[in-house]
Structure 1
């Protein structure tokens, strides 16, 4: 099957959620640019894992201005930036991703969500149990526990660091290691 006959995979990126988790829960400080995910690797991973040509939608809160250099960088690597604005008390990125997930119910295509946020559970669940593949990319130890329950319904999960390899150097994470994956070398 060639790229023209495969359904599109939609890669929906909640960059603020990933950045906040990385800074607050892993680094305990604001990440520097070299410590952030290489966003192009998520597109590559989705393409390699599911085939076709993924359509990357990167949702941004641009209420205080358009981050032009970041938007240009996203476009250069193949994303369609989705800059949004709204009142500060509203989670505008979440609202936009929820609406996008809801719209996916009427479209063909696989869905890969990049977020830890449980706000998306209600909108992901109806996409499961169909011919489409649905996945979540996040840090396993910080993803909302509701995603784990959806894995029984077919939700796939991929770790941002270990599966996607989105970082240029190892992060200071402590994770539960399945014994089949245990290698003592890094601990020695």
Structure 2
């Protein structure tokens, strides 16, 4: 009997990515067309590790549920996980941490989409031979993740590696010389 293929679980901390995009990159609330194309993130995960990917999108929904967004997530293959809690409780972080802990008992691979260092310990625990990745914005990713690369953590940039955006973001990044194209600066 053939063994079932492994799955990559893509855990999205949408609030963290949205806050980084708006607060650090754009300097304002992102418009809908400036946000990541979440379907591209799932596609990247499937193609990169050549196996099915399941997207879990964690949402804080204390007061209301953004139904249009939830329906869009469902349409592209994510499982929205709306959460509520006490004022000041970081429900998305708590749920992602619990999910990462639960994945230790499974053989599945994981890509966390967040820059948040609150998940470093749980990601470290998953580096037991399975494939584990963190996707976000390299210049805003918590530096503690970089220390896990030698243990097998893969890191991905949402714009440059995953290609999750339809238009270039106004970012300044260190360019490896083999990637340098002067024509990009001669506009």
TM norm structure 1 = 0.96
Partner of 2:7: 8
Partner of 1:136: 134
In the alignment, structure 1 residue 35 sits paired with structure 2 residue 17: no
Residue number among 160, 170, 176 corresponding to 1:172 in the alignment: 170
> How far off is 1:108 after superposition?
1.2
C-alpha distance in structure 2 between counterparts of 1:24 and 1:55, whole Å: 28
> How far off is 1:181 after superposition?
1.1
Deviations 1:90-137 (A, max 9, x none): 11000000000000110111000000000000111011132x100001
C-alpha distance in structure 2 between counterparts of 1:150 and 1:88, whole Å: 33
> How far off is 1:5 after superposition?
2.9
Structure 2 runs not aligned, ≥5 long:
none
In the alignment, structure 1 residue 50 sits paired with structure 2 residue 49: yes
C-alpha distance in structure 2 between counterparts of 1:97 and 1:24, whole Å: 22
Q: Is the 8 A contact 1:59 1:84 kept in 2?
A: yes
Cα RMSD, aligned residues only: 1.1
- Report the 3-state secondary structure (helix = DSSP H, G, I; strand = E; otherwise coil) of the residue aligned with 1:173: coil
Partner of 1:150: 148
Partner of 2:121: 122
C-alpha distance in structure 2 between counterparts of 1:156 and 1:112, whole Å: 9
- Runs of 4+ in structure 1 deviating by more than 3 angstroms, as ranges, are none
TM norm structure 2 = 0.97
Q: 1:39-118 residue pairs with structure 2 within 5 A? A: 39-118=38-117
Structure 1 runs not aligned, ≥5 long:
none
- Report the 3-state secondary structure (helix = DSSP H, G, I; strand = E; otherwise coil) of the residue aligned with 1:170: coil
Partner of 1:163: 161
Aligned positions, number: 185
